[in-house]
């Protein structure tokens, strides 16, 4: 299934049904009077977050959604039938934005969360509603009110506890495949990962968390270079970032600073999130290179750097424990 995290759609609620002009006609009743019923309410357009979906691909080809009009009134004071609502099902974590792509209408971050995006029009009044002591036979009936309509943007932000960031070839996909059942595409060239991947890490029967692998950042990503930073929105909800740095390259400190600059350029609080820094691929380094690069990275980050190897599993349990502890502390807060 193709991954799609943004979609623009047009939605329109149903118009209200029309009221009618009708008069009571029965044998032996000389003056029956008005009995035109009111119109029924038009259907609403509702967006609902459901389990089992992880992409907005359903809204790539079907982009127009319209609820039905309410039923018209009828004689004998019969009100028209209200129309059914149109319910659009989206993945958990979907945000609904106005056409300007800035105004947030709803944030569906829990299963079953719902938002009424367009309200159906009320039904028009039949002539029975206009009867007064001085106007005994009104011949007026209202049309139904129009339903709301608008263009909206659906933007998916995956629900993950931890996010993997780093330059291309930092070993993020390998790490995800080792610690979870996810099977991302892995190869020794930039941009192997073209869209976010999710994996569930289980440390015990009662302790698990979700980790997201984000496509690699390069210098200038927040200005659109490479794959850009469009996927960083998927780690906005994370409690902690795991910043993996390729230890097999000559200057890991520069790689760290590059990614940090892109996180700060993106904004939205990513640069302030708790961060665990990992020097990856220690199996590909000599002891001397390991010591010097570890020291340089700690100096650049100002944090304790953890050593690990996604290929051999060295240091991975310690990194997972640090992630789990940070996530637990965040949940308690």
What is the structure's pLDDT at 112?
A: 92
Pairing between strand 208-213 and 114-118?
A: unpaired
Q: What is the mean pLDDT of the chain?
A: 85
Kind and range of the H or E run holding 252: helix 252-266
Q: What is the pTM of this model?
A: 0.74
Contact between 262 and 217 under an 8 Å Cβ cutoff? The reply is yes
Q: Which residue has the higher pLDDT, 183 or 164?
A: 164
What is the structure's pLDDT at 1?
A: 45
Binding positions for Mg(2+) are: 173, 193
Alpha carbon 322 to chain centroid, angstroms: 27
CB-count exposure of residue 64 (10 Å: 0-12, 13-18, 19+): exposed
What is the structure's pLDDT at 224?
A: 54
Whether residue 188 is predicted with pLDDT greater than 60 in this model: the reply is: no
**pLDDT band (50, 70, 90) for residue 290:** confident
Tens-place pLDDT, residues 198-208:
778 888 777 88
Mean pLDDT of 97-109: 91
Report the percent of the chain where pLDDT is more than 70.
90
What is the structure's pLDDT at 226?
A: 46
Strands (E), 51-196: 64-66, 86-91, 94-98, 104-108, 114-118, 149-156, 162-165
Tens-place pLDDT, residues 112-136:
999 999 999 999 999 999 999 889 8
Mean pLDDT of 236-244: 87
- DSSP per residue, 46-63: EEEEETT----THHHH--
Q: Which residue has the higher pLDDT, 10 or 156?
A: 10
Contact between 246 and 190 under an 8 Å Cβ cutoff? The reply is no
Range with the lowest mean pLDDT among 29-33, 56-60, 122-126?
Answer: 29-33
CA–CA dist 104, 118 (Å, integer) = 14
Whether residue 14 is predicted with pLDDT greater than 50 in this model: the reply is: yes
CA–CA dist 325, 329 (Å, integer) = 6
CA–CA dist 230, 255 (Å, integer) = 20
Q: What residues contact 327, with CB distance under 8 A and at least 6 apart?
A: 161, 162, 209, 239, 240
Whether residue 65 is predicted with pLDDT greater than 90 in this model: the reply is: yes
Q: Give the C-alpha distances (Å, rounded to integers) separating 184 from 27, 71, 174, 177, 294.
A: 79, 51, 8, 7, 28
CA–CA dist 44, 230 (Å, integer) = 32
Binding positions are: 166-173, 191-195, 213-216, 280-283, 309-311
| Short-list 297, 299, 303, CA closest to 245 | 297
What is the structure's pLDDT at 219?
A: 65
Report the percent of the chain where pLDDT is more than 90.
35
Token pair in block for residue 66: 């319209």
Residue written as token pair 């965040």: 330
What is the structure's pLDDT at 190?
A: 52
Mean pLDDT of 271-279: 88
Q: Looking at the DSSP assignment, which residues form a beta bridge with residue 6?
A: 155
Kind and range of the H or E run holding 11: strand 6-12
How many of the other CB atoms lie within 10 Å of CB of 140? 14
Greatest mean pLDDT among 37-46, 188-197, 286-295, 299-308 lies in: 37-46
Mean pLDDT of 252-257: 89
Domains annotated for the chain, with CATH where assigned, are: 6-156 (2.70.210.12), 162-332 (3.40.50.300)
- DSSP per residue, 270-305: GGGS-EEEEEE-GGGS-HHHHHHHHHHHHHHHSSPE
Whether residue 156 is predicted with pLDDT greater than 50 in this model: the reply is: yes
Binding positions for GTP are: 166-173, 191-195, 213-216, 280-283, 309-311
């Amino acid at each position: 299934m193709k991954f799609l995290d943004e979609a623009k759609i047009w939605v329109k609620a149903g118009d209200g049904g029309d009221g009618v002009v009708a008069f009571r006609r029965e044998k032996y009743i000389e003056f029956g009077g008005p009995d035109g019923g009111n119109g029924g309410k038009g259907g609403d357009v509702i967006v609902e977050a459901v389990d089992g979906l992880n992409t907005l691909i359903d809204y790539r080809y079907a982009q127009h959604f319209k609820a039905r009009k309410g039923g018209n009134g009828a004689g004998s004071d019969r009100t028209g039938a209200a129309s059914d609502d149109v319910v659009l099902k989206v993945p958990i974590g979907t945000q609904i934005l106005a056409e300007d792509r800035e105004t947030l209408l709803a944030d569906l971050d829990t299963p079953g969360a719902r938002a009424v995006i367009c309200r159906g029009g009320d039904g028009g009044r039949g002539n029975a509603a206009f009867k007064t002591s001085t106007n005994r036979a009104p011949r007026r009936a209202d049309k139904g009110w129009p339903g709301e309509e608008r263009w909206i943007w659906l933007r998916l932000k995956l629900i993950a506890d931890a996010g993997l960031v780093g330059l291309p070839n930092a070993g993020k996909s390998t790490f995800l495949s080792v610690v979870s059942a996810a099977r991302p595409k892995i190869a020794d060239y930039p941009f192997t990962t073209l869209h976010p991947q999710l994996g569930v890490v289980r440390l015990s029967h009662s302790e698990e968390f979700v980790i997201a692998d984000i496509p690699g950042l390069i210098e200038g990503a927040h200005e659109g270079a490479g794959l850009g930073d469009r996927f960083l929105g998927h780690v906005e909800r994370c409690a902690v970032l795991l910043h993996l740095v390729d230890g097999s390259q000559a200057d890991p400190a520069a790689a760290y600073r590059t990614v940090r600059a892109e996180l700060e350029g993106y904004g939205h609080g990513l640069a302030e999130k708790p961060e665990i820094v990992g020097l990856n691929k220690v199996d590909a380094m000599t002891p001397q290179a390991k010591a010097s690069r570890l020291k340089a990275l700690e100096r650049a980050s100002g944090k304790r750097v953890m050593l690990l190897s996604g290929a051999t599993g060295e240091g991975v349990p310690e990194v997972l424990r640090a992630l789990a502890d940070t996530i637990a502390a965040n949940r308690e807060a």
